[in-house]
Amino acid sequence: MLTMIDIGIDNAVAFTLSGKMTQDDMKRVLMDAEAKTVDHGGIVIYEEIESFSGIELAAIVEELKYIIHAGLKHIKQVAVVTDASWIEKVVKVEDALFRNIDIQYFTFAEKPQAIMFLQQQ
């Protein structure tokens, strides 16, 4: 289940995820990203992952359509908050692949630091 949240940063697309990312979940995140991009130009992303049991193929297709349409230039920073150590490895790979986006991993104990990281844009 995905829940959109407010972390007190106007241009932040912020959500918590528990379980599987569905197509509808991805559409909600991307609609918020598109709206905030229009309002603010650049955006930051806050992902709080309580548990992750996969992603629907349709959700990946939605994300790819968004990237093709909007690109990634407007995404400045991403904070991924979770205690799943395997996700830290994924974050490091994504940070290396997407060099123009500063992507950082934080544990749940480091949530305040994750938000401060996004405020430094």
Residue 75: give its domain's CATH number: 3.30.750.24
Half-sphere exposure of 108 (CA within 13 A, CB side): 7
Order the strands of the 75-81 sheet from edge to edge.
2-4, 12-21, 43-55, 75-81, 102-106
Separation between Cα atoms, residue 36 and residue 41, nearest integer Å = 7
State the pLDDT at residue 69: 85
> 15-51 pLDDT, tens per residue?
999 999 999 999 999 999 999 999 999 999 999 999 9
Provide the domain count of the chain: 1
> 50-59 pLDDT, tens per residue?
999 999 999 9
Do residues 30 and 66 make contact, with C-beta atoms less than 8 angstroms apart? yes
Q: Which two tokens stand for residue 91?
A: 């974050």
Taking residue 101's Cβ as centre, other Cβ atoms within 10 Å add up to 17
Separation between Cα atoms, residue 101 and residue 3, nearest integer Å = 23
Give the pLDDT band of residue 10 (cuts 50, 70, 90). very high
State the pLDDT at residue 68: 87
Host domain of residue 10: 2-119
Separation between Cα atoms, residue 16 and residue 14, nearest integer Å = 7
Separation between Cα atoms, residue 20 and residue 11, nearest integer Å = 25
